Structure 1
Amino acid sequence: MTITIPAINLLFLIALIGGVVAIIDAIVRIRARSAVLGIIQLVAAALFTLSLFVAGVPFGQPILAVVTIVLLVLGLAFRGSARRGGVALTVIAIILLLAYLLLSGGIHIAGIN
C-alpha cells in the first residue's frame, strides 16, 4: 500500500466530507445502542475515506461508496426514536456520497451524465 497525496478538487472534497459525515453518523449510531449496523457502517465509511488517500484498498471507491450509502439508508429506515438531528447527518451523508458517485462516473443515469 502506498500513501498518495490526492489533488484537491471539488470531487475529492465532496467524497471526503461525505465519508467523514458517514463516520460521524456511525459513531452516533453506535452510541445510541444500534451497535451492529453502526459498526458495519463505521468500517465501510472508514474504508471509503481511507481509499481516498491510500492506493490498494480492497473493493475500490465506487463499491465502498455504494455499500456506505446502502448502510446509511438502512440506518435511516431503522433509526431509533431517541436521536435528535441524527436524520440530518444521515441525509447529508447520503446526498454527498450520491453526488460523488454521479460526478465521478461510478453510476450512470440517462440524462444526467
Structure 2
Amino acid sequence: MGYEDSFYTKTNITGYTGDLNDNPTVYFQNGTRFGRITQDHSNPNNIGRNLVRDKADYSIGNTGTGGVAQEYYDGAVKHTSRNPFVAVTDNNRDTLATAISRFPDKKPK
C-alpha cells in the first residue's frame, strides 16, 4: 500500500505543472485536503508523494514571477512551482494518473 492511497486517486487530480508528457508534477485536492506528486526534480529527496495537508484557505494559482504556480495556505504563499499550473481535463486525466502507481511512497523530504 502507498502513502495516502485513499487521497491520491485519479478523481482527486486537479492539474499539473511542467510538461504533460515528461514527468509533470501532479496536484490533488479533495475538499480542504491537498497534495502533489513530484515525478522529477534535481533533488531526489523531493520526488514522490507530498505530505497531504488539510487547510481551509488552500488555493493554487499562477501568481508567481513569470506566471508560475504558487500554493497558498495559512495566510501565505507556501510553495512556488517551477512552471505554471494547468487544470486537469478529461483529455489529460489518464496521463496524469500514471503518477499514482509510479510513485506510491511519501517523499523522503
Q: Aligning the two structures, in what range does the TM-score lie when normalised by the shorter sequence?
A: under 0.3
Output the TM-score relative to the length of structure 2.
0.23
| Higher normalized helix content (fraction of residues) | 1
Output the TM-score relative to the length of structure 1.
0.22
